[in-house]
Structure 1
Amino acid sequence: MSESQLMTSEVARLSMLNALIPEVEKIAKDALDQRKMGLDVWKKSDGSIVTNVDLIVERAIRDVLSEIDPGGAVFGEEEGWSEHHPCDAAWVLDPIDGTRMFIEDRPGASISVGFWSSEGAIAGIVHDLTRGVTYACDAVSGTWLCPSPMPEPGRDIHGIWDLKRGAQHDVEEWILSGLDVGHEPDGCVLEMASVAHGAIAGYVFAAAGWAPFPWDLAAGAALLRTSGGTLLWTDAPEGVITLQDQSISTLDRYSTAGAGGSATLIALGPHFVDELLNQ
């Protein structure tokens, strides 16, 4: 089992997160410098693309975590589980979310560091590689660390709806009624961060044969939980599930369901959670 110091107290958690934020920002700068020198790009066994920078970034974050939180388990997209093996509480890493955008030097890519426990999303740090903005939070205490809150919440809805079926729930109807189909969304993590921050109202990912993985969800789910937003799996076998409150095994189940059919993901900002509940 993980013995992460992140779970010992609020003081320890905030101290660790505040120490980790500048380290992630430094790693981000190094990643951009490395891209200028050239990228090695190849396909993984699952057909997804990866670069040498994905590997460099994940290794750099793991090295930082080994100093900041030596007892904590780590689960990353490129290296899998640390020596702790699968467990209920772990740091969850996506070294480059939006790899294709990163390769093409387009907006939308980010570095994502989340912490997940048996009680759901605990903390998140997301760094926007194009805009240089870092989103960070402690979901347990409800502390939003950065950036400053939006003065007025945005009302745009971003995402992808690539299913033959129509809406099956009120929340899906609401999302589809406002979805900006002409907008190319950022990577999944960054869109969730934008919803949590209040820049946009909602985000949807619904596509046959694929769904985001745990490392695509962990940090964004923590940001949403902190802000009062929500992350929903709307076509789960047992009905609508609030993902940010579930164990990491539920995130795996969600990804597996998406690979075998579809698993609709919807992120809602706090103002619009209230709006839907009060309808």
Structure 2
Amino acid sequence: MLDQLMVCEEAARRGGAVLLDWVGRFKVREKGPADLVTEADVASQRAIRDCVLSHFPNHGFLGEEEGVSDRPDAEYVWIVDPLDGTTNYVHQNPQFAVSVALVKAGQVVVGAVYDPSADECFTAQRGAGAQLNGEPISVSTVVSLSEALVAVSFSARVDARSPQIPLFLEIVTRAQAIRRTGSAALNLAGVACGRFDAYWAIDNKPWDVAAGLLLVEEAGGATLSPEGEPVDVMAPRLAVAATPALQRELSGAVGQAKS
């Protein structure tokens, strides 16, 4: 049987190679206010789609760009973000990534997050652990927000009335420090390998986080919603942390900000 994880990593690396090839020579348009898409996004997605469907022609495919959705009711569906961190990419900030995940019955079974700028490929297979360039990784042991480096994500457009503002203020006053990288996939990969201790976001899409959630789970982390419920990968709201104790404190901070 063809190795699904091997194909997943191959697809992510192919997408990343396309992104590097397009740096500095793409056109940009807006999908919505402050929501950019480039020719590179589209080219990367096509390369990924061609790779996975050439190996698994009966699988479904859900990609962020161009509304691409093939066989969404198939037993296995690939969920892909060909360029997570488009604004960074447009500004030639190296914090962008490719995210590729394979889902069966709503559960991610393999995933890869590839950072082409650093040539770092984070991979995971359910029940088999998580790796960075083939070496095992694990989450940190931090149990308190006061000692935690926390990654955050906001919507593309945030105004003064956004519920994300009081949530940010609640967490920034409790955490040791906050970072906003602009890439949900890299935030989750960072938690998986111990570079971040926690990550929260309330406005992600499936392709942003599918692969990264599996990375954190297989690296030993706690992946729940802000309400402490299991994450629905198709409608993700995240309060992800390295340890259960830290996850509970993070969820509590989210709840207090909303009250």
TM-score by length of 1: 0.72
Do the aligned partners of 2:11 and 2:52 also contact (CA within 8 Å) in 1? no
Aligned residue for 2:217, secondary structure, equals helix
Q: Which residue of 2 aligns with 1:257?
A: none
Cα deviation code 1:171-204 (max 9, x no counterpart): x87x8622524x3424111100110122221112
Q: In the alignment, which of 203, 221, 240 is matched to residue 267 of structure 1? A: 240
Aligned residue for 2:52, secondary structure, equals helix
CA 1:223/1:176 → structure 2, altered by over 3 Å: closer, same or farther? farther
Partners of 2:101 and 2:8 lie apart in 1 by: 11
| Unaligned 5+ runs, structure 1 | 1-11, 255-262
Cα offset, 1:28, TM superposition:
1.4
Cα offset, 1:143, TM superposition:
3.1
Q: Which residue of 2 aligns with 1:156?
A: 149
Cα offset, 1:81, TM superposition:
4.6
Deviates more, 1:153-162 or 1:117-126: 153-162
Aligned residue for 2:166, secondary structure, equals coil
1:193 aligns with 2:228: no
Partners of 2:122 and 2:111 lie apart in 1 by: 8
Aligned residue for 1:123, secondary structure, equals strand
User: Number of residues paired by the alignment?
Assistant: 233
Cα deviation code 1:86-135 (max 9, x no counterpart): 55641100000000001111132100101122252221110113222000
Aligned residue for 2:29, secondary structure, equals strand
Counting aligned pairs with the same residue, the percent is 22
Q: Which residue of 1 aligns with 2:22?
A: 34
Q: Which residue of 2 aligns with 1:228?
A: 220
CA 1:166/1:205 → structure 2, altered by over 3 Å: closer, same or farther? closer
1:218 aligns with 2:189: no
TM-score by length of 2: 0.77
Q: Which residue of 1 aligns with 2:254?
A: none
Cα offset, 1:166, TM superposition:
8.2
Q: In the alignment, which of 128, 150, 162 is matched to residue 142 of structure 1? A: 128
The one-letter code sitting in structure 2 at the alignment partner of 1:187 is S
Aligned residue for 2:23, secondary structure, equals helix
Cα offset, 1:73, TM superposition:
0.4
Q: Write the mapping of 1:1-279 to structure 2, written as runs, cut at 5 A.
A: 12=1, 15-36=3-24, 38-45=25-32, 48-86=35-73, 89-139=76-126, 141-147=127-133, 148-149=135-136, 153=140, 155-160=148-153, 162-164=164-166, 177-178=174-175, 180-181=177-178, 183-206=179-202, 211-234=203-226, 239-243=227-231, 246=232, 248=233, 251-252=234-235, 254=236, 265-269=238-242, 272-273=243-244
Cα offset, 1:84, TM superposition:
1.1
Do the aligned partners of 1:137 and 1:146 also contact (CA within 8 Å) in 2? no
| Unaligned 5+ runs, structure 2 | 143-147, 155-163, 249-259
CA RMSD, 1 decimal: 3.0
Partners of 1:83 and 1:23 lie apart in 2 by: 17
Do the aligned partners of 1:202 and 1:268 also contact (CA within 8 Å) in 2? yes
